[in-house]
Amino acid sequence: MYNAKAYSAASATSPLASSTIARRDPTQTDVQIEILFCGICHSDLHQVRNEWSGVMPTVYPCVPGHEIVGRVAKVGSAVTKFKPGDLAAVGCMVDSDHTCPDCQAGLEQFCPNLTLTYNFPDKHLGGVTYGGYSDSVVVDERFVLRVPSNLNLAGAAPLLCAGITTYSPMRHWGVTKGKKVGIVGLGGLGHMGVKFAHALGAYVVAFTTSPGKKEDALRLGADEVVISSNAGEMAKHAGSFDFILDAVSANHDINAYINLLRRDGNITLVGAPEKPMALSAFGLIMGRRSLSGSPIGGIPETQEMLDFCGKHNITSDVEVIPIQKVNEAYERLLKSDVKYRFSIDMASLKSE
């Protein structure tokens, strides 16, 4: 065991603060990573503030962070994929049972014995897992990803959650050239959704509550931008979408988007608001439309997504911050005031 520096929250109402945590020494199959950048996902904020208490109650102290890129510091004797000095990345998962049908299919995100990167029982040290707001992490090599060398590292970190969470449902629902795709909410996830839908060749419409994001949305790859409070603009798109990805973090009217789907169209929720949302049955019945959800993506698909990003030179648009600004960043995230993901430069932790 060794001590690592981290930022943790002591309770749902405490700010994140500098602390020391225990990390395990790498086992035979583990990779120890020096963390260079960690993105700030809205899920970190939901978890730190115990907003998902009904489904995933938070255990304190909580060290969030699941958009991790860094450099390999040490490897166990049986590790074959990585060597010290390599770039490496870790997303939302750090372990699974490897034997269930989901793991066998490379869909570890559905494994009943999944271990998430933070706030999940830690099989090695007891307590719960600690995430990437830290100077290092130790992870089984099966959950460590390769980062294409041409990508900017601060911008690559958010690919590990915002990237895969938007890429995976688009691949599942067949987003390709000729499809009309809507992306709702231009935050960390949504702006990646716009980039991927565009790169996959779709006709992309971005829906935002923030008129100030219109120019950016076009630059990111949207063909059209709709300000969702404008009923007239919304009505123009009624019954026309093949697929809509809803990446909104707060409660909102999903029925307004269901009505924009064509026959057999699908809307997938990736945003995870705190409270249940109202659903009108008729929106789904008329048009045989479907509503589904999607969690992150499996390890093979996460690597596929990173390689796709390497090929198309796709990264997240980031505002790089020192860890000392993390509490301020959370307040700004709540005001949708980030273009479009905070990425923490972990070198800033050295001075703590």
**How far apart are CB 111 and ligand NAP at their closest, in Å?**
14
Contact indicator for 339, 190 with CB cutoff of 8 Å: no
* 208 touches ligand NAP by CB under 6 A: yes
- Cα three-residue angle 49-64-116, rounded to 5 degrees: 110
Residue 256: Cβ within 10 Å count: 17
d(CA 336, CA 228): 15
x/- letters, 283..312, toward ligand NAP (CB under 6 A):
-----------xxx----------------
Q: How far apart are CA 320 and CA 99, in angstroms?
A: 39
β-pairing, 180-184 vs 241-246, is parallel
**Nearer to Zn ion (CB atom), residue 43 or residue 58:** 43
CA atoms within 13 A on the CB side of 336: 16
The reply to whether 344 sits near Zn ion by the rule CB under 5 A is: no
Please tell me whether residue 187 binds ligand NAP under the rule CB under 6 A.
yes
Output the smallest distance, CB 166 to ligand NAP, in A: 9
Whether residue 184 contacts residue 161, with contact meaning beta carbons closer than 8 Å, is answered with no
Helix (H/G/I), strand (E/B), else coil: 336: coil
H/E element, 93: strand 93-95
Q: How far is the CB of 52 from ligand NAP (least distance, A)?
A: 8
Q: Pattern 216-255, binding to ligand NAP, x per CB under 6 A? A: -------------------------------xxxx-x---
What values do phi and psi take at 190, rounded to 5? -60, -40
- Options 12-20, 123-131, 141-149, 187-195: segment touching ligand NAP (CB under 6 A): 187-195
Q: Which helix (H) or strand (E) holds 232?
A: helix 231-235
Phi and psi torsions of 4, nearest 5°? -120, 150
Other beta carbons within 10 Å of 83 = 11
Q: Establish if 161 lies at the interface with Zn ion (CB under 5 A).
A: yes
Q: Which listed range, 17-25, 131-139, 181-189, 310-318, lies at the site for ligand NAP (CB under 6 A)?
A: 181-189
Residue 189 touches ligand NAP, criterion: CB under 6 A? yes
Residue 103's H or E segment, with its range, is helix 101-104
Q: Which stretch binds ligand NAP (CB under 6 A): 57-65, 171-179, 184-192, 315-323?
A: 184-192
For Zn ion, which stretch binds (CB under 5 A), given 36-44, 74-82, 230-238, 301-309?
36-44
Tokens of 141: 């090599």
User: Is 204 a binder of ligand NAP (CB under 6 A)?
Assistant: no
For the bound state, the minimum distance from the C-beta of residue 263 to Zn ion, rounded and expressed in Å, comes to 33
Which of 23, 195, 198, 213 is close enough to bind ligand NAP by CB under 6 A? 213
User: Where on the chain is the footprint of ligand NAP (CB under 6 A)?
Assistant: 41-43, 46, 161-162, 165, 185-190, 208-210, 213, 247-250, 252, 270-272, 294-296, 333, 336
User: Where on the chain is the footprint of Zn ion (CB under 5 A)?
Assistant: 41, 43, 161
